[in-house]
Amino acid sequence: MNIPITFEEVKSADYLATLRENYEYRRSGIKYNYDKKADSNLCIENHFDIELVSKSNIFMGLLFELSLYDFITKKLKDAIINKLPNISDKEFSEKMINFKFSYNMNIGDFDNGYDYIWKVKEKLYKIDCKVYANEVFSDSTYEKYNILVDERQYNSSNTDIYIQGFLVSEKDNLVFRAFFEKKENLRYSDKFPQAGYCKKIEKCKPIVDLINHIIKFAI
């Protein structure tokens, strides 16, 4: 499943990333960058004919979160309207609010290790979005990669589900593709520069499964 990227999302992510960079904790490691545009950022600039202000990994992380949240929201909206074609705007709004699928972006303070909250009955599912921020993939070259959560974050957060995104160049288009896994299904590994919990993408579930599950409870 391809997750579209819009010009409006690029502009929004760039603005928010530039603001958030002032408060961001400087992580160590070769994959973290705060003062130079990654190849993926340059690819976005070229595709959308825009010059990004942001010069960090933060931009791609926010772009993925925004694009995915927008995509899920539109799928939810379509599913509700298809089932209830005569629903009023007020009824639709109430249904979306009562569904309780929220995007919890945080600027100016440490976040809690997750980006979305999805409430099903009395259970809160906390969902963290990750993306390989420095690379542009083609076809299924991302399948050899992992969902990877560093050990500190894994042990300190109460996240339930991890989503791993990839920026993919497909013909003349740029899209995200994503996979997910429950926290308890990740396994510890010290084979990375920083030890963490991981699972091969080829063994993870495609994002469409999670989206369908979310829609099932919405309607």
Q: Can you give the pLDDT at residue 76?
A: 92
Structural domain that includes position 23: 3-218
Q: pLDDT tens digits for 62-121? A: 999 999 999 999 999 999 999 999 999 999 999 888 888 999 888 887 777 899 999 888
Low-confidence ranges of the chain (pLDDT < 70): 25-36
Q: Which long-range contacts (CB under 8 A, 24 or more apart) does 173-177 make?
A: 174/5, 174/43, 174/44, 174/47, 174/136, 175/2, 175/3, 175/4, 175/5, 176/2, 176/3, 176/5, 176/64, 176/67, 176/68, 176/131, 177/1, 177/2, 177/3, 177/137, 177/142, 177/207
Q: Can you give the pLDDT at residue 68?
A: 98
How many structural domains compose the chain? 1
Q: Can you give the pLDDT at residue 7?
A: 97
Q: Can you give the pLDDT at residue 16?
A: 95
